[in-house]
Structure 1
């Protein structure tokens, strides 16, 4: 006499749960692989577009230039020519006119904004010891409010002659760049904010203050390092 085998309801439930778990894990693996492949497939183009946008921004913040050269800041505090491929290094962008005369240096800076990290580029003219241009490279500030830092003409005018004059020994900025409320600007080293976008504009002022205090003395003291070299990486 043969014996018939039956499965208990509990066994059937466990089998169903295992199948569902396996399916979920499989879907998760496939999704993860798709994300990785998409990232790897688009990374190169994204980086290329960023590089192109940065190059265009350099020409915007350094009026009158026709060519550029990339330099990196070494661990010894010296500027040397660079191909600009290693974005982990501190890079600056020298701008020259048709006679290969240095017209200024474009400098990247970043800091915490209202929503996320703000990345900016500003142009420095050693001859006038002032900032002569400003451009927002990356921003996720609130549309209609915080994003005014990118297009408000009154705010952008802060960076047409923003003073970063140095002390007699050229080691420090005499008056650190600082943010001030709208309507209260009295000095050439102050960044006047925008009503309704106080946090974002104050963040820009602070970013500029910190960056210029560090970078400007180094650049001014090493102007000879940025002499145009025909064999140096240029764009």
Structure 2
């Protein structure tokens, strides 16, 4: 018998052990991923909570405590209830006496490189946005990131008008980003020259969030205007 014939007649290695090994490795890898997720999730959640709280105190000046709420089909309820699809989370900021100073809410829109995530502060007295804080950004260094560093752009949000229309169902004037140097109205955002896409993304994010949140929030603002001493000390 030739060498070639002997090689052809040799039985193939059984596939069973190899398949079992591959399955075991895959199961072990999956288990490690799940365990890692469950182990790190509390730390990730805590870091996110701290980041949100720090940002809230920036966009709601004077706030020293916060309380989380949901806008639901039933109205405004404490965020102790489980969030359902369609519910909107927002944060109320209070002074040391428990007086409501403002609301903080999330907003996001597509920028040049990726989604831009923001937290903005709403002042119910002036019905305006008092400040924004960029939570996540992947824009071009030196251009898109000017939405954080450019003083003139940041000044757009000292009192950006988000007054509701007479019917209370939408904004009286939509937030729009205009060409640099052409701002004439309090609901307009003066874009950054050379970073128009990022500037417009901020305007789109704020407009979409305010249009969705404020018509539901404003009619219920009295429900969150004051807090008891227990809430002030217990929710920090």
TM-score category, normalised to shorter length: 0.7 to 0.9
Gaps of 5+ in 2: none
TM-score with structure 2 length normalisation? 0.82
| Residue 127 (str. 1) matches residue 128 (str. 2) | no
Cα separation, partners in 2 of 1:169 and 1:86, compared to 1, 3 Å: closer
**What is the CA RMSD across the aligned residues, in angstroms?**
3.2
Separation in structure 2 between the aligned mates of residue 11 and residue 178 of structure 1, nearest angstrom = 77
Q: Which residue of 1 aligns with 2:210?
A: 212
Q: Which residue of 2 aligns with 1:186?
A: 184
Among 62, 76, 79, the residue aligned to 1:79: 76
> How many angstroms does 1:22 deviate by?
6.3
Cα separation, partners in 2 of 1:16 and 1:73, compared to 1, 3 Å: same
8 Å CA contact retained: 1:100, 1:228: yes
Separation in structure 2 between the aligned mates of residue 176 and residue 212 of structure 1, nearest angstrom = 9
> How many angstroms does 1:172 deviate by?
2.9
Q: Which residue of 2 aligns with 1:3?
A: none
Matched positions, count: 231
> How many angstroms does 1:85 deviate by?
7.3
Q: Which residue of 2 aligns with 1:142?
A: 140
> How many angstroms does 1:182 deviate by?
2.0
8 Å CA contact retained: 2:70, 2:83: no
Q: Which residue of 2 aligns with 1:96?
A: 94
**Residue aligned with 2:13, SS:** helix
Gaps of 5+ in 1: 1-5
